[in-house]
Amino acid sequence: MMKSRKSICIVDFDYSVCGGVEKVTASLANELSDCCDVWVLSVCMGTDEMSFPLSENVHFENLAGKPDRLRYLKKAAKQKLPGFYKEHGIEFVIFQGNYAGYVCGTIGRIKGVRTAFFDHGALMNQWDRRDIRFIRWRCSKKCDYVITLTEESRKDYRERFHLPDRKVKCIYNWIDDTLPASEKYDDRSKRILSAGRFTYEKGFDHLVKIFAPAAKKHPDWHLDIFGDGEERGKIEGLIREYGMEDNIHLKGMVSDLYARYGEYAMYVLPSYREGMPLVLLEAKYNRLPIISFDVRTGPKEIVTDGVDGILIEPCDTEKMTAAILKLMEDPELRISMSEHSQDNTDRFSRTRIREQWIGLIEEETK
């Protein structure tokens, strides 16, 4: 329990975007609103619609209106944030991701306000991007804490930016145990699930090429991909190119994806890079075997290779096709992996992670 009710602010860059960061923002704000006075502050809003619903106990405000260049948004933040913090008695601020951190977290310290930069990606995934590396470095120096989603990324921050141990914390995303999970694995299903924003790093172009040989060998199997984004047209073109119109289905954005996990035989993650993918936690909680590229951060802290899923060397499409075929053709292996899918899920429990956040909010910096 919180020692005393504190006022906190969670800053998201654009809360009209329907992405993983926004989903975590909503979950964290709603969860902490019973013990804190919580504000969600969107730096800008591309539309007037909020991406995920907030509890009636959570306050919401758009800081700077419509999206603009970072330097203009930063100028607006410098003008407005101190007054906003003072008006609402804000004591602790969480900056969600690179752009929110850069715009609002690097304007200078404000007396009585402690800050945390929450990196939802992974430092080394974009180390070669000098602009992103600079933003992360700047945020790590200006904020009181850096929060990472994996122990691997925590280690990277400490070593690369020479940060003290106490400043860098790893706090996982939690598995949403308030949603109904599948009670039983359907070993008769011949459908494969994947989901995410249709952006380059999610690797759905890979997935079409990976699944096509498996589907040609087993044409009664189908792949459903949920999501949308700028790469959708490219993916549709690849589906036509590989003649997969009858086997690969783009399902778009849905509000009830969580309730559909039980219809599937396995989950496949083809990403080029990840932070801590929520979809793998959801798949794990819903008893699905997982096949994933073993990218630098994320999957290896969720999946135990050979026990509840299969981890593949990044971008090795032939091995991922082979892994999909292996699970297609071995229902007993799928059942075994499903039975182990909820092993070690206590690390991702809502109660445990909630207490980590409360502990951080109450902690006094030195």
The model's pLDDT over 131-181, given as tens digits with 9 standing for 90+, comes to 999 999 999 999 999 999 999 999 999 999 999 999 999 999 998 777 777
Q: pLDDT tens digit string along 260-288?
A: 999 999 999 999 988 888 899 999 999 99
Domain membership flag for residue 282: yes
pLDDT for residue 197? 87
* Residue 161 sits in the same domain as residue 17: yes
C-alpha 49/C-alpha 125 separation (Å) is: 31
Domain membership flag for residue 185: no
* Residue 199 sits in the same domain as residue 170: no
C-alpha 332/C-alpha 211 separation (Å) is: 21
Cα angle for residues 5, 22, 278 (degrees, 5° grid) = 100
Q: pLDDT tens digit string along 275-323?
A: 888 899 999 999 999 999 999 888 999 999 999 999 999 999 999 999 9
Domain membership flag for residue 12: yes
C-alpha 98/C-alpha 319 separation (Å) is: 33
* Residue 123 sits in the same domain as residue 231: no
- Stretch (H or E) spanning 210: helix 204-217
Give mean pLDDT, residues 195-217.
94
Q: In total, how many domains does the chain have? A: 2
Tokens of 348: 């991702």
- DSSP per-residue string spanning 20-58: HHHHHHHHHHHHHTTTEEEEEEEEE-SSSS-SS---TTE
60 in Cβ contact with 50 (< 8 Å): yes
Domain membership flag for residue 114: yes
1 confidence band (pLDDT: 50, 70, 90): low
Of 42, 277, 77, 326, the closest CA to residue 172 belongs to 277
Tell me the β-bridge partners of 170: 148
Domain membership flag for residue 1: no
CATH code for the domain in which residue 316 is found: 3.40.50.2000
Domain membership flag for residue 281: yes
66: containing domain: 6-174+349-362
Average the pLDDT over each of 54-58, 125-129, 312-316, 341-345 and give the range with the smallest value.
341-345
Say if residue 85 is exposed, middle or buried (CB neighbours under 10 Å; 0-12, 13-18, 19+).
buried
pLDDT for residue 318? 97
pLDDT for residue 73? 97
**pLDDT tops 70 at residue 364:** no
* Residue 217 sits in the same domain as residue 94: no
pLDDT for residue 31? 96
C-alpha 66/C-alpha 2 separation (Å) is: 36
Q: In what order do the strands lie in the sheet with 145-148?
A: 58-62, 36-44, 6-14, 92-96, 114-118, 145-148, 168-170
- Stretch (H or E) spanning 351: helix 350-362
pLDDT for residue 366? 43
* Residue 158 sits in the same domain as residue 59: yes
Q: pLDDT tens digit string along 31-44?
A: 999 999 999 999 99
* Residue 28 sits in the same domain as residue 168: yes
Residues recorded for the chain: 366
State the angle between helix axes of 130-142 and 151-161 in degrees (0 to 180), rounded to the nearest 10. 90
* Residue 241 sits in the same domain as residue 338: yes
Tokens 């000098």 -> residue: 130
